[in-house]
Structure 1
Amino acid sequence: MSHLDLNLVRVFVAIYETRSVTHAAERLDVTQSTVSYGLAKLRKVYVDRLFSRGGDGLVPTGMAEQLFQRFREALTTVEGTLEQNTAFDPQHSTRRFRLAMSDIGVLYFVPPLLRRFQEVAPRIEIDILQISDTLGEDLSTGRLDMAVGNIPSLGSPVHSALLFREHYVCLMSANHPTIGCSMSLEAFSAARHVMVSSPRSGHFLIEDALAERGIHRNIVARVPQFTVLPQLLSQSDLLVLLPSRVASLYVHQGGLKALALPVPLPDFQVQAHWHARHEYSAAHRWLVDEIVATLGKL
């Protein structure tokens, strides 16, 4: 074959990134038979199986590993030129966007985002994924359109836009047995704390900030998610450090109170992050603008 259909390149990249014919078909909005047919043609062109079945999905061959980076870069370049002057109509678009955020981000960000999208882009689809260890790669390959949160580990070529600055407060039961309307440093240090283990966000940095000030918390439990906290705190003497906006949300639900920390800690930035590969995409520029405008008001 002296030339390669661009759609075959899209099929290959989608299969490689999703490790599934089914998921590739969903991403490309085509039938599974179309993807299977495209894969068969690619196998014939390159005289290689390209993918074999494994325990966690399709496994790329050595040839596929070599092809992916070149195909991904070529596809990004071509699609960038196609999208540069292509108008995006949010009212009629059925495009699917993929966003990554922590569970606390889902709790705070998703409701206002979905309300806004229902108003201005009622037919688009939004997939919310958990921030993973491969976040940078997911953004660079197009598996994700954007990540939202306090994610200090991302660097160039990822672009960022500030949504707002945040600070931590201490959340506890409204009827805490030993802490009233204010909290001393002694009470804070002696109290029993819950820590949320969230290594892929910036929340773990608070431990470093406390240690620099010679403060060590009495951590009696570690949990993997923020959303379990109201149940843990409301009927106990446990404390947790949380961003003030989310703490206010929990307080509003009842049974909890939020107090200022007895020691000043630096605030942090909550940002929207996206890869430079989307520079020419009108659809992605629209997404960035909507997310910044909607979440920047919170």
Structure 2
Amino acid sequence: MLGSGHRKTYPWHPCYISTDKMDHHPTRFDLNLIRALVAIYETRSVTQAAERLGLTQPTISHSLARLREVYGDRLFSRGSAGLVPTAVAERLYEQLSVALHAIEGTLDANAAFDPFSSTRRFRIALSDIGSLFFTPPLLRRFQTIAPRIQVEFVQLSGGLQDDLARGTLDLAIGNLPSLHTHTRNQLLFHERYVCLMADNYPGVGESIDLETFSRARHVMVSSPASGHALVDGALAERGVQRNVVALVPQFSVLPSLLEDSDLVVVLPSRVAQLYARERRLRTVELPVPIAGFEVRLHWHARQDAAPAHRWLREEVMRDLSGL
């Protein structure tokens, strides 16, 4: 039986500490210590963790000292790129970030959300081409209706499913079929590929024939989200191979490369039309039919009832689905 000075906790409890340390450390501590640990782990910085949580740096430093005392481990050491977590910190983060997200989710579900006064921080994952197309309208809208929130746009990565589950990422936007069975998702729009070229491109009228397309000097974006694998696969089925003369890492360089040149690129239609409106460029349909794709909004089921997250999803749907 436990003595009157001890309170029983369980391994799944966010404040659980193994019994072999109970003589040295209390079994209860402030939930803000968990918030501090998670923030330090994700930012790799005491200063940035303080900024994220709206606290002073000494407060976060004190929290880190308390965590080190409670867990009997250094937790983080200094490295060239910021704080480096120890093995104990890695394990704690995996457990506590999920628990913290669940706890805060129960609070969010019962708390009103006022976007105009909120200072909430959201993280949204996009491809680089998604950033070009989606970021401007979203930021314009947020500046008007939620001027104090923080929105961090990050690059799509291989850890999307885990990031959404841990709550370190709020939304992922794109053509992400691997996430369909693991997330809640909603269709934003259907998309297709077109060919983008200079408006004075020689020898091409309203359309481009297959022979001209095959001989053309193509630029390919090497980003994993560029869709070139889908395009090349459809062409290969018809025995067509593009004449790729340049590989570039980002979509943002394309307009200056294509304008007044004999280069062409295959792009999703919305971004291609955006470039055509801004520069001396035009779009034509591909000579080979290529299946379109879906751009969807993805989030974790745990976020369904949270008012702040529900507001974010509704705004993204409203602002992007009609583009």
Bin for the TM-score computed over the shorter chain: over 0.9
2:217 is matched with which residue: 183, 192, 197?
Answer: 192
Paired position in structure 2 for 1:169: 194
Q: Secondary structure at the match of 2:113?
A: coil
Q: Secondary structure at the match of 1:297?
A: coil
1:76 aligned to 2:128? no
1:242 aligned to 2:273? no
Aligned pairs, number: 298
Paired position in structure 2 for 1:96: 121
Paired position in structure 2 for 1:263: 288
Alignment check: 8 A CA contact 2:119 2:150 kept: yes
Paired position in structure 2 for 1:182: 207
Give structure 2 stretches of 5+ with no counterpart: 1-25
**1:144 & 1:167 partners in 2: Cα distance?**
27
2:309 is matched with which residue: 255, 265, 284?
Answer: 284
Q: How far does residue 239 in structure 1 lie from its aligned partner after superposition?
A: 0.7
Aligned residue identity for 1:30: L
Aligned residue identity for 1:163: L
State percent identity of aligned pairs. Answer: 59
**1:152 & 1:208 partners in 2: Cα distance?**
17
Q: How far does residue 118 in structure 1 lie from its aligned partner after superposition?
A: 2.6
Alignment check: 8 A CA contact 1:172 1:239 kept: yes
Aligned residue identity for 2:321: G
Deviations 1:25-80 (A, max 9, x none): 22212122111110000000111101111222211112112212221221122111
**1:289 & 1:223 partners in 2: Cα distance?**
35
Using structure 1 for the length normalisation, give the TM-score. Answer: 0.94
Aligned residue identity for 1:240: V
Select between 145-154 and 228-237 the one with higher mean Cα deviation: 145-154
Paired position in structure 2 for 1:294: 319
Q: Secondary structure at the match of 1:172?
A: strand
Paired position in structure 2 for 1:66: 91
CA root-mean-square deviation: 1.7
Paired position in structure 2 for 1:31: 56
Paired position in structure 2 for 1:87: 112
Distance 1:56 1:47, change over 3 A: same
**2:303 & 2:227 partners in 1: Cα distance?**
25
Q: How far does residue 195 in structure 1 lie from its aligned partner after superposition?
A: 0.6
Paired position in structure 2 for 1:3: 28
Paired position in structure 2 for 1:127: 152
Q: How far does residue 218 in structure 1 lie from its aligned partner after superposition?
A: 0.9
Q: How far does residue 152 in structure 1 lie from its aligned partner after superposition?
A: 2.9
**1:260 & 1:42 partners in 2: Cα distance?**
60
Q: How far does residue 156 in structure 1 lie from its aligned partner after superposition?
A: 4.2
Give structure 1 stretches of 5+ with no counterpart: none
Deviations 1:214-256 (A, max 9, x none): 3211111111111110111012111101111111111111311
Q: Secondary structure at the match of 1:228?
A: helix
Distance 1:166 1:200, change over 3 A: closer
Alignment check: 8 A CA contact 2:186 2:297 kept: yes
Aligned residue identity for 2:258: L
**1:93 & 1:187 partners in 2: Cα distance?**
55
1:232 is matched with which residue: 249, 254, 257?
Answer: 257
Aligned residue identity for 1:264: P
1:219 is matched with which residue: 240, 244, 247?
Answer: 244
Q: How far does residue 146 in structure 1 lie from its aligned partner after superposition?
A: 1.2
Distance 1:259 1:200, change over 3 A: closer
**1:205 & 1:28 partners in 2: Cα distance?**
42
Aligned residue identity for 2:111: T
